[in-house]
Amino acid sequence: MPNKTTKALPLWLLVTVMALSLIGLVDSGYLTLKHFSGVPPECNIFSGCDVVTTSEYSEVFGVPLALFGAGYYLAVFLLAVFYLDRKKLIALNLIRLATVFGFLMSIWLVYLQIFVIGAICEYCMLSAISSTLLFTLSLISLRYIKISNPAER
């Protein structure tokens, strides 16, 4: 039962999603490793000290936010690969759902940096940009395949 107006998701869109999630993975992976290795020797004592990544907002229940970010990007990447492989709509919809959360989280974190912590961490901003782009791409994907579309293939 092919849906009336379904067009295939263009490859460029999927590839861009994968590229952005890889960039995000490198970025948040970097911040995660920094968080675990770097707090006392590198950031906390000696060298330009980094208020943002050592602020009280950098952890949730003792887990660094950057690790959540890395998990998010990894999940988006794997889902995109899965969609590329199997063309299962569920994967696409999960990506869309994830990018909504990613986008909202980014807004919150940018707000915290500017108005609460009063300092900007460029790696965190890079992550905010890639999350925003991912969200934009998932909105664009709606032009091709609607969420309501039942079992496309």
Residues that bind other proteins (CB under 8 A): 18, 22, 25-27, 29-30, 32-34, 37-38, 40-51, 54, 74, 77-78, 81, 84-86, 116-120, 122
Give 63 or 142: the residue with its C-beta nearer to other proteins.
63
CB–CB of 43/54 below 8 Å? yes
Decide whether 43 or 89 has the Cβ nearer to other proteins.
Answer: 43
How far apart (Å, rounded) are the C-alpha atoms in residues 19 and 3? Answer: 29
Burial of 146 (0-12, 13-18, 19+ CB in 10 A): middle
Between 50 and 89, CB nearer to other proteins: 50
State the minimum distance, in angstroms, from the CB of residue 34 to other proteins.
Answer: 5
Reported in sequence order, the residue ranges of the chain that DSSP labels E, i.e. its strands, are: 59-60, 63-64
On whether the CB atoms of residues 115 and 126 are closer than 8 A, the answer is: no
Whichever of 51 and 100 has its CB closer to other proteins, that residue is 51
What is the smallest separation between the CB atom of 5 and other proteins, expressed in angstroms? 27
